[in-house]
Structure 1
Amino acid sequence: MSPSSSSWAPSPSTGIVGWKFLHSPTTPDGVTYSLRPDNESEDLEELRHWVLPVANEFIADADQHFKRPDSEPQVHIEYVADGYYDGNWTSVTVLHDWAITGDFVGLSEVAGYMGSLPVRGVGWYRQKLSFTRDDSEKSIYLDVEGAMAFSMVWLNGHLVGGWPNGYVTFRLDLTPCVKFGEENYLAIRAENPQSKKFSRWYPGAGIYRDVWVIKVPITHVAHYGSHITTRDVSAKSATVDLSITIDNKDTKHHQPVNVFTKVYKYKDGRVGQKEPNMYIAITKLYDLENRLLDEYETNFGIRTLKFDANNGLFINGEHIYIQGVNQHHDLGALGAAWNLRAGTRQLEMLKELGVNAIRMAHNPPTPELLRLTDEMGFMVIDGIFDCWLEGKSASDFHLIFEDWHEPDIRSFVHGPPAAGKIFSELHDIVLEEDGTRSVTSSLFRAIANDSITGEMDIISLNYQGEGMRYGGAYAHLTGNRILPQYDNFHAANPDSLIIGSEVTWSLSSRGSFHFPVSPYISAPVNDTNGGGNSSTYEITAYEVYSSESGSTPDRVFYTQDTKPSYSGIIDLAGFKKERFYLYQSRWRSDFPAAHIVPHWNWPERVGQVIPVHVFTSGDEAELFVNGRSQGKQKKEPLAYRFRWDDVVYEPGEVKVVVYKDGKQWSTDNVVTTGEAAALRLSADRTTITADGEDLTFITAEVVDSNGNVVPTANNAIQFDVSSPGVIVATDNGFPGDLTKFPSTKRNALNGLALAIVRS
């Protein structure tokens, strides 16, 4: 867990624009990367043997390298031919997600947890490239930062290579296939399996991250050729160790070079805390006549990490509490296609929440996101696999694991012994690349004395720490039941730091409330305990309900405080759910805030009980309904909210006054609103860059005649843009809304809707 201490920057490069695109929901070309359960009955030619040698750069043992077949694959694919006419294909801009703008499909086609969007099938991308005759003295590379999935690349009809894992950045050497001084035809094929359940989340579809053409002199800094580590770190100084790897593609001549590196400080702050100190190393490569051959930039931070089994994490000697979330790679209504502003907005909201650490769930993110987390001071757990030899979904990426893994591993029995062996080898691979990193893997069913725990630098527990199906509210459930496990794992591994990598599995719908409210701090959702309404796809926002095997924030905090996710805090549209304020009150204890739940529009419940909860970092609070006190409470030990469970509803105003250390700390109020009367629009930014990529996020609030947001309003809203710009998506955060994301007409959800405008 750390900001980057080594990174890479491509040499002079060109982002590619003006793509032609063709999508087929079935296999149109008779080929596939590999046969899988979803396509093994088709008559397809496997091409993985031409792709696997791309991995040789990262395999230290030459005896384990893959050998490319001596001839081109014996297949005819019209889409890769130089003269193929693609004028009737769709013009698209890469970065591109072919599924996100489509109609939602039935669950028989694509599982709901994959977004129920048309992600399946094959996508072909074509592009013309031009290289001058002077470029013949250079090396030409193609960098693809992410293409979903099983991607393969052709240039001028030649299969250059590819990469099966759709989340991984890869580089291909185009030089042998380039026609200098002529037009060149690049074709990239992406394929998502035909299975309706090949991922456990929305995977995206197509070339959804940046693609670069890299042109460098034959002698240049190698791919990932700059490596920086730091040592002897103190408040006043540190030693920076730098190694540079240089590639010389001229097989006939040696090239003497001079290498110079200068280090500059470009951002003040502190890593993992408020803002990081960031440095940049600029390496320049010269020949003996002092001609510049190559320039390479590496961003890095200076830090020491100490993982203490009893006291936690220390960065540069300072004790840091990990306040982390799990984050998937999509950008909500924009899909998987990376956008700098949308990614920045997500991180800004996490900063406001109090987050200082992100676990990239469950695959590598775009390099751009890691650059942002470095600059904004987040600690990162950078995941690489969601699974190894055993899959979690049909045709998921466990199928590619054996492509590169050592043969003897395939003979192991699946389970803890095999897992420990595989983890040990993966651990060694990481240390080969960077010996300063700590390596972990999340444990869901392992027990405290499993062999794999002894291999880990840090032990990461999914849900087991807080217990699974644990507590009185879960007693009636069947299935795997586990008591809280932090103590057991610590006793069995006394020298290892233990973290909760997935701790809550809370469920709620923003602004929706149901009754009665569970008296427990954590209870499973169902239709009979006030947890929700399955017919309207709503879950109450009192934030005391979870999945069957999960926990709520309160129980997580309780477990943490009695021992020495966590997705869904923010909805799909980027609106704060109620639990945002619960986490904020925990993680930003110096922030004077209070938040009342629920809203106060209940005409059908006059005279009935409406429990009122308040999330705040204060230690004492008094609640008022229409000016009458409902009692003053002190926050009890191991309590994380105030609860007035016997408030009788009457229209008007609910107000809370919160105190801390005997002084007034914060206030909040909710009122009974009138009918919807108008819309109020607000933009997250009023000025954006006219580059065709920058975004502004427009929030539409449905308000009454007094300007109060109507918390029950679900009015239809028609969005339009009268000045330059285009609406690329709308949303309201409701998972049950199956309106296409590009639609400019959207119902509000509990008073709010969103429009995303691109320059």
Structure 2
Amino acid sequence: MQIQNLLENKSKKYIDINENWKFKLGNNMRYSQLIMEDFDEWEDVNLPHDWSIFLDFNQKSLGRNEAGLLDGGFGYYVKKFDVSEGLENKDILIKFGGVYMDSSVWLNGKLLGNYPFGYNTFYYDLTKWIRYGENTLVVKVENRQPSSRWYSGSGIYRNVELIIKEKLNIKEDGIRIITKDSELENLDLVESKAYFEIVNKTNCDLKANVVFDIYDVFGNKHGEFSSKELVIGSNDKTVIEELFSISNPNLWSIEKPNLYYVKTKLYSDGMLLDEQITRYGYRHIRWDAKEGFYLNGNYIKFHGVCLHHDNGALGAMLDIDADRRKLAIMKKMGVNAIRTSHNPQSEEFIRLCDEMGFLVIEEAFDTWSGNAKKEFDYNRFFAEKSTHPDANEADTWAKFDIQRMVKRDINSPCIIMWSIGNEIWESKLPHGLKQGLDLIEWINEIDNTRFTTIGEEAFIYNLDNGVHVNICEELDAVGLNYCENNLEKLFEIYPDWRFYGSETSSALRSRGIFYDPQTKDNVATGSADKPNRRYQMSDYGNDRVSWGKTAINSWIPDRDHKRYAGQFIWTGFDYIGEPTPWHNEENLGAKPKSSYFGIVDTCGFPKADYYFYQSQWLRKEEKPMVKIIPHWNWEDRELLESQGTNLKRKDNLVVVRVYSNLQNIDLRLNGRSLGEKAFYKKTTDYGRQYLEGANKDELYLEWMVEFEPGVLEAFASEGD
């Protein structure tokens, strides 16, 4: 039995309207000017659509190479669709998965609303303005530049669908399934609480009750439950709360992401009016400030990465296959956690994390109100009153948006933390205290079962006083950006705080380019420092930004501290924009336009540090691995010398490193052994075992090999 076949009420429909839109990129036009346009002359497009990725790179772009040298501007979309007269008594909504940014939507000349935030799902009720026959939907998108510190993309870059339902219905994103961790300490009978938000858009009072069944992913039923009947007033709404229990649920985990489904039916006087399938999972979390993070009773560390939302040459537009591939590549590296830097990812991405077994920090904002990072970023809207039709009277956009994020994804077992922001300037300023505390409160109004957190860099230079400390005192977990050097002091000052690395490393690397192996920790400063680099970084893993660390030097303090719950490396994949160390440098030729931070490049090909992390994060019993660095294609002596791989000696010696999670390595060139070497077995204070090379903190084995064409091989084994 397949879950998608469980719906019985055929009157409710989700209609994909991604195809056959018209698009124009132009000047800033009012609606009165728009309707004078000949839409037939516009470009034909299908959604999701990112207009910026189709533009030529502009060396003079207002977003600079920080935003990938791809312009934004004003984009206009038109969609014509027919509605049959049989729908006159239905409720008709439109759902936008994400529009970047500051969008305005009209239906048949009526302004439905403006939605500034570029990363959230939002809805409009079309019912009052629908015509039975042809309808015209117009969307204006404003991406004024600069609006972002990375490539954002532009346009309706996620899915759009129509939702047709009865006027007494279950509100979209209106079901919450809450299971307290205390309930999961004994699996014999696990009690949860379900919340069903029911909306009555008729002009009369109506009776209502819900019946809901629990299924596993195979369609096996695990329980049937129902609520008492109640009366919902005309043009009113209510929340039905019901306790339910199931026996011995299969827990969701990183290795076995078991999922369950609630099939909810809404009845009025015995008539089925609405149905909804809600996916959720059971997992038990205990996070002790001194003992670390436990999932289902097992101690784990976050082997995490930060990910932006673009997919390289595909741009920002949602591509579920590209996202699935991206996550699969991360999984093979040993990654078990994702931070959605620095805004909500698509709901499709979150569902993939549910299915594939990733822990997720869903982050809301990169900026609050008062100190813009970019002239046209979200700072303009954060504290302004929300004008969305679904907003409450006193809602700001910040409150509406962060609660919209939580409501959408509250049932996803992958999400363990809600982040209120990343490196927020206001978190160091007096006026930012209320903003931070408000965000925490607004999250807890919807979900008080997950940890609230922040990505905070201020502890690099200010350990024990300031607004950031006041905010962190109210958070459930404190994310540290680049604070590895201060861990011991922070543990001493704040013995009861939960700590993890929300953003770490920021090593720089270009795939297959190897420079200066004799320099194991190089602070890259760009053109002035290394003009011979030709806009490339070293894949030996020895280049980094001034505020960060190499992969090895970032991992060691994480590995050695049990209470430090893990790290989220900047970044798992390269992304368009922010090409540090040539970030917004002037007087360059053809400016770099993509990042160097990724452990994997934008095509999905791993760089060398990918295999370093495999050697540290993959269990040898399950996934033994060995990898030689660098490649063995040095027939061109000029290439060998230009990349510095031969240490500037007269001979052809190449520095060869081997990463492995097995102890013994036999390196062979064209069939003959170059000598066996073995790692030293080490153990941390809390019992974690690891392998170390010839010198302290060398997490690889190294040979000096005279180059000759042929095949270089490494054979790894365990034991004597």
TM-score (norm 1): 0.72
Indicate how the Cα distance of structure 1 residues 374 and 11 shifts in structure 2: closer, same or farther if over 3 A, else same: farther
Per the TM alignment, residue 162 of structure 1 is displaced from its structure 2 partner at its CA by: 2.8
Residues in 1 aligned to 2:114 and 2:261: alpha-carbon distance in whole angstroms = 31
Matched, 1:316 2:374: no
1:80–1:154 contact (8 Å) kept in structure 2? no
Distance across 2 between alignment mates of 1:201 and 1:488: 33
The residue that corresponds to 2:463 in the other structure is 448
Contact 1:16 1:211 in 2 (8 A): yes
SS at match of 2:552: helix
SS in 2 for 1:401: coil
Q: Residues 398-417 of structure 1 correspond to what in structure 2 (within 5 A)?
A: 398-404=379-385, 415-417=428-430
Match of 1:588 in 2: 618
Q: Supply the AA of the counterpart residue of 2:652.
A: Q
Q: Which one of the candidate residues 95, 109, 119 is aligned to 1:143?
A: 95
- The corresponding residue for 1:257 is 208
Structure 2 CA distance for aligned equivalents of residues 415 and 307 of structure 1: 27
Find 1:435's aligned residue among 448, 457, 473: 448
In the TM superposition, what whole-angstrom CA distance separates every residue of 1:608-645 from its partner, at most 9, and x where no partner exists?
33211111112232434452525524343763532436
Q: Residue 282 of structure 1: SS of its match in structure 2? A: strand
8 Å Cα contact 2:253-2:296 kept in structure 1: no
- Secondary structure at the counterpart of residue 303 of structure 1: coil
Q: Are 1:618 and 2:662 matched, yes or no?
A: yes
1:536-578 per-residue CA deviation (whole Å, 9 max, x = no partner) reads: 2211111121112111110012222343322101100111111
Q: TM-score, normalised by structure 2?
A: 0.76
Q: Structure 2 matches for 1:239-638, cutoff 5 A?
A: 239-250=191-202, 252-266=203-217, 270-288=251-269, 290-389=270-369, 390-404=371-385, 415-446=428-459, 447-449=462-464, 450-465=469-484, 484-514=485-515, 516-520=516-520, 522-525=521-524, 536-564=534-562, 565-567=569-571, 568-590=598-620, 591-603=623-635, 604=637, 607-626=651-670, 627-630=672-675, 632-635=677-680, 636=692
* Counterpart in the other structure of 2:161: 212
Judged with a 3 Å threshold, the aligned counterparts in structure 2 of structure 1 residues 110 and 453 are, in CA distance, closer, same or farther, namely: closer
CA distance in 2, matches of 1:510, 1:265: 43
Alignment partners' CA distance in 2, 1:527 and 1:87: 48
Give the alignment of 1:84-163 within 5 angstroms.
Answer: 85-118=38-71, 120-163=72-115
Q: Within 1, Cα distance between the matches of 2:35 and 2:176? A: 37
Which of 154, 163, 168 is the aligned partner of 2:120?
168
* CA–CA distance in structure 2, aligned partners of residues 600 and 653 of structure 1: 8
Which stretch has the larger CA shift, 183-192 or 611-620? 611-620
What stretches of structure 2 of length at least 5 have no aligned partner? 1-8, 219-248, 387-393, 399-424, 563-568, 572-597, 641-649, 681-691
Once the two structures are TM-superposed, the CA of residue 132 in structure 1 deviates from its matched residue by 2.1
Query: 2-side partners of 1:584 and 1:533: how far apart?
Result: 32
SS at match of 2:215: strand
Residue of structure 2 in register with 1:651 after alignment: 709
What letter is aligned with 2:455? Answer: S
Are the counterparts in 2 of residues 595 and 615 from structure 1 also a CA contact under 8 Å?
A: yes
Q: Which structure ranks higher in relative contact order (CA pairs < 8 Å, sequence separation ≥ 6)? A: 2
Report Cα offsets for 1:292-327 as digits up to 9, x if no partner.
110011110112221111121112222222111111
Per-residue displacement from partner, 1:701-749 (whole Å, max 9, x unpaired)? Answer: xxxxxxxxxxxxxxxxxxxxxxxxxxxxxxxxxxxxxxxxxxxxxxxxx
Give the secondary-structure state (helix, strand or coil) at the position aligned to 2:112. Answer: strand
Aligned CA distance change for structure 1 residues 124 and 200 (closer, same or farther; 3 Å): same
1:107 is displaced (CA, Å) by 4.2
The one-letter amino acid of 1:589's match is R
Q: Distance in 2 between matches of 1:634 and 1:302?
A: 40
Map of 1:683 onto structure 2 = none
CA displacement, residues 227-277 of structure 1 (integer Å, 9 cap, x when unaligned): 111131134331121111100011x20111231011111169642320212
C-alpha distance in structure 1 between counterparts of 2:32 and 2:259, whole Å: 48
Aligned residue pairs total 577
The AA in structure 2 aligned to 1:332 is G
Give the match for residue 577 of structure 2: none
Match of 2:152? Answer: 203
CA distance in 1, matches of 2:85, 2:171: 23
Identity rate, percent: 30
How many angstroms apart in 1 are the aligned matches of 2:290 and 2:490? 12
Deviation readout 1:663-690 (Å, 9 max, x if unpaired): xxxxxxxxxxxxxxxxxxxxxxxxxxxx
Please tell me the residue identity of whatever aligns with 1:599. H
Deviation string, structure 1 residues 466-489 (Cα, Å, up to 9, x no partner):
xxxxxxxxxxxxxxxxxx111222
One-letter amino acid of the counterpart of residue 135, structure 1: L
C-alpha change, 1:454 and 1:431, in structure 2 (3 Å) is same
3-state SS in 1 of match to 2:382: helix
Equivalent residue, structure 1, for 2:224: none
**How far is the alpha carbon of 1:506 from its aligned partner?**
1.0
RMSD, aligned α-carbons: 2.6
Q: Is the 8 A contact 1:18 1:91 kept in 2?
A: no
Q: Which amino acid aligns with 1:501?
A: S
In structure 2, give the amino acid aligned to 1:96: H
> 1:370 Cα deviation (Å)?
0.8
After TM superposition, give the deviation of residue 457 of structure 1 in Å.
0.4
- The C-alpha deviation readout for 1:148-202, integer Å capped at 9, x for no partner, is 11011000111011310110111111112112x2211110111100x2x321111
Measured at CA, do residues 269 and 608 of structure 1 come closer, stay the same or move farther in structure 2, by a change above 3 Å?
farther
1:78 aligned residue = 33
Cα pair 2:263 2:276 within 8 Å, conserved: yes
Does the 8 Å CA contact 2:539/2:608 hold for their aligned counterparts? yes
My pick for the range that moved more, 594-603 or 161-170, is 594-603
